[in-house]
Homo-oligomer: A and B are copies of this chain.
């Protein structure tokens, strides 16, 4: 049997949130992502390049599906998670200005030893949200 080809990317990255309105304000209103779908009180999903960012309310996603629902496995984490968005390095100054203007505090802003810069904020649920350029990981 042939081993399947390695996945081509991350199709879905998840964060857990406690308030879908505040998640929408942040990920759509501040980060600028388009909303793919919103299903209160369970989730709101956002498009981000070749990926989708899933913002879930854990107390809803922990409930196993009924027999008349699709068999989507339950999950749901508690506590601050982490996600990083790819942005061009030359946009990072603009991101700092934009985030501060929107009332989002910059928690950290530094250059890694090999040069790339990361800026970090918190989403309204307390997740650590980073903005960095792909060369942080040698990606383009």
Contact = CB atoms under 8 A, between A and B. Distances in A.
Contacts of A32: 3-7
Q: Which of A13, A76, A78 has the most CB of B within 10 A?
A: A13
Contacts of A112: 70
Interface of A: 1-14, 16, 31-34, 36, 47-54, 56, 58, 61-62, 70-88, 91, 94-95, 97-98, 101, 107-108, 110, 112-113, 120, 122, 127-128, 130-132, 134, 136-137, 139
Given A32-B7, A110-B70, A82 B56 contact: yes
Determine chain A's interface SS by DSSP, over half rule. Answer: mixed
A1 B98 contact: yes
A48 B42 CA distance: 28
Contact of A137 (B11, B71, B73): B11
Contacts of A81: 14, 16, 75, 77, 81
A86 B8 contact: yes
B5 A75 contact: no
Given A50-B139, A110-B70, A127-B75, A85 B4 contact: no
Given A3-B98, A82-B14, A101-B1, A9 B51 contact: yes
B9 A49 contact: yes
B110 A71 contact: yes
